[in-house]
Structure 1
Amino acid sequence: MNDEPLDTLVLGGGAAGLSGALTLARSRRSVLVLDAGEPRNAPAAGVHAFLTRDGLPPAELVRLGRAEVESYGGRVRPGTAVAARRVGDLFAVDTVDGETLHARRLLVATGLVDELPDLPGVRELWGRDVLHCPYCHGWEVRDQPLAVLGTGPGSLHQVKLFRQLTADLVYLRHHAPEPTAEEAEELAALGIPVVDEEVTGLEITDDRLSGVRLASGRVLPRTALALAPRFVARSAVLEDLGVPVADHPWGGRYAAAEDVTGQTAVPGVWIAGNVGDLSAQVVAAAAAGTLAGARINADLVVEDTARAVARHREGAVA
């Protein structure tokens, strides 16, 4: 435990956390990024739709980001927060290693967990041939034989997005609700067949997807499968502090912010990235971190000024 509290402790060392830390470090704030080392996008070959960084491997983006933060005096190190509480004017955060860190402000950018369907082959191919985001990975599977797995109410929206990328598309309804008459007409108009059989697993050939196995035993040849996981924010520390966590209409849970800067209902606590925005791509998470970092610095400036005025008045009285 350090005697001098940090200006800001950042939990999470992905695009959101590092961008927030960079903004704070450039404002000459003492900032530490605690990174659990569990990046959500680790299976992906590259980051996409990130201007000037398209195709960059996720690990390389993090490496570059860490170096930039450290070049301005910020610190980044491994660690996992397991509990948090307020102690007077500070936050005390306990780590899995038994350490307690103290900070004036918290930026929580711990991301989310993708809860995948329990089907053989899905986890093995996740981030490669099994995808969820048309903007992150759709171009890479354009014009291929593609299927969308129905996992919930949002699946039909996903079907329409991927139809833009390939004409050879099949909707595997699986466990999703049966389309309404209007939805069935839309699918027919777009030339998207609907398969009502349950999916039992994936066929893998030479470490790549070759087909989708149905309950009848039939294998539908496909080279890519899109599905919508259940997105669950890593929000335990936030819940310790009383930050509201809400259910998403399409499944999953996210932490709630009070405004666009990521400020929460708990004074002194900000969020950025997927922990509060389940659909944020890497570039959006980075932008959210930058905005949160700037707002945290401004909040600290207000507090620093008030303290300076109080000291000034004490000196004048003396």
Structure 2
Amino acid sequence: MTEQLNDSYDVIVVGGGAAGLNGALMLARARRTVLVIDAGAPRNAPAEGVHGLLAREGMPPGELLERGRAEVRQYGGQVVTGEVETAVRDETGFGVTLADGRTVRSRRLLVTTGLVDVLPDVPGLRERWGRDVVHCPYCHGWEVRDGAIGVLASGPLSVHQALLFRQWSADVTYFAHTRPAPTGEEAERLAARGIKVVHGEVASLEIVEDRLVGVRMSDGTLVSRDTVAVATRMEARAGFLATLGLRPVEHPAGVGEHIPADPTGRTDVPGVWVAGNVTDLSAQVGPAAAAGAGAAAQINADLIEEETRQAVAAYRELLSAGSR
């Protein structure tokens, strides 16, 4: 294993999570030279295990990534630690500069840098994130089943989130916090499912002996809860793409910012693909990995088209020279 970079690669993959590693695996198996640059800050690092991923159920996130890195290297791919600072495009491809000053070139880019979860400013949320503060029922629902679950209203999908968590527990409380209390059809849907609504601002989470015991309201009231679910604002980690003219835009669902792309992961900048949470904010590990593989196949096909055009031009020139 080496951190020494070659001068150039067929593809640089920026981000070494499930999407990036699966994309790199596909490219390496396609006999492409591929470099994965990973900053080492996976979104799911606080979680005890990955869930909903066939044959890897409950595996610690770090172990999953370590296995993935080993598989990429098995086929000749290179994985290094680093953070991309800028990327520029010219006639022959891309020039990438890392924060430590290293530079490298590639013909194509696959960006899989994921997202950042922006939590409401409530004391205790960040400290308990990934433990007894969760966001996704499909990731954590089984583990918190039949417990007392609180849903902290934080965005346009919070009522939907409360209705989802109701599938795993009959004891769900919706905290309106600083958002308008549900009215009309939303209020009716919550009431019909037995979800209690608590009005007023949440002051903090109550932690006793490293365990969440409840939600403290601004009036001092403590509402006992075992788990708090919160829909974060999700923002793509892609600042370095600005030098390529790619900037995050607001997601149509109003839940954050993402890098837009077509269904194959192709962006508006020729030669740049995206996969995973940087473009699909709701993708779990399985769909993110699948998107990485799909984008990699498209990149390989794009390179084959380029190489075939070049081969045809050279072939025609050879025939022309032979006829003179």
TM-score by length of 1: 0.97
1:222 alignment partner AA: R
CA distance in 1, matches of 2:89, 2:16: 22
**Percent identity of equivalent pairs:** 57
Contact 1:155 1:176 in 2 (8 A): no
User: Are positions 1:71 and 2:74 aligned together?
Assistant: yes
Q: Which runs of 5+ in 2 are unaligned?
A: none
Q: Which residue of 1 aligns with 2:221?
A: 218
Query: After the TM superposition, which residues 184-203 of structure 1 pair with which residues of structure 2 at under 5 Å, given as runs?
Result: 184-203=187-206
Q: Which of 246, 250, 259 is the matching residue for 1:255? A: 259
Query: After the TM superposition, which residues 95-110 of structure 1 pair with which residues of structure 2 at under 5 Å, given as runs?
Result: 95-110=98-113
Q: Which residue of 1 aligns with 2:155?
A: 152
Contact 2:19 2:293 in 1 (8 A): yes
Change in CA separation of 1:201 and 1:3 when aligned onto 2, cut-off 3 Å: closer
Contact 2:152 2:230 in 1 (8 A): yes
Contact 2:111 2:272 in 1 (8 A): yes
User: Are positions 1:137 and 2:140 aligned together?
Assistant: yes
Contact 2:88 2:96 in 1 (8 A): yes
Q: What does the per-residue CA deviation read over 1:188-233, in whole Å, with 9 as the maximum and x for residues that have no partner?
A: 1111111012101111122121111101111111110000111000
Task: Give the aligned length.
Answer: 317
1:252 alignment partner AA: G
- State the Cα RMSD in Å: 1.3
Q: Which of 272, 275, 279 is the matching residue for 1:272? A: 275
Q: Which residue of 1 aligns with 2:319?
A: 316
Bigger mean CA deviation after superposition, 171-180 or 278-287: 171-180
CA distance in 2, matches of 1:137, 1:214: 25
CA distance in 1, matches of 2:243, 2:197: 44
Bigger mean CA deviation after superposition, 262-271 or 305-314: 305-314
Change in CA separation of 1:136 and 1:2 when aligned onto 2, cut-off 3 Å: closer
CA distance in 2, matches of 1:17, 1:103: 16
In the TM superposition, residue 6 of structure 1 has moved relative to its aligned partner by 0.7
CA distance in 1, matches of 2:6, 2:311: 21
CA distance in 1, matches of 2:190, 2:37: 46
1:143 alignment partner AA: D
Q: What does the per-residue CA deviation read over 1:129-185, in whole Å, with 9 as the maximum and x for residues that have no partner?
A: 000000011110000011000012110010100011101110001022321211111
In the TM superposition, residue 186 of structure 1 has moved relative to its aligned partner by 1.1
Secondary structure of the corresponding residue to residue 51 of structure 1: coil
Q: Which of 207, 211, 214 is the matching residue for 1:208? A: 211
1:65 alignment partner AA: G
2:254 alignment partner AA: W
Contact 1:152 1:175 in 2 (8 A): no
Bigger mean CA deviation after superposition, 83-92 or 13-22: 83-92
1:191 alignment partner AA: G
CA distance in 2, matches of 1:54, 1:154: 27
Q: Which runs of 5+ in 1 are unaligned?
A: none
1:172 alignment partner AA: F
Secondary structure of the corresponding residue to residue 141 of structure 2: helix
1:126 alignment partner AA: W
Contact 1:12 1:33 in 2 (8 A): yes
CA distance in 1, matches of 2:180, 2:288: 31
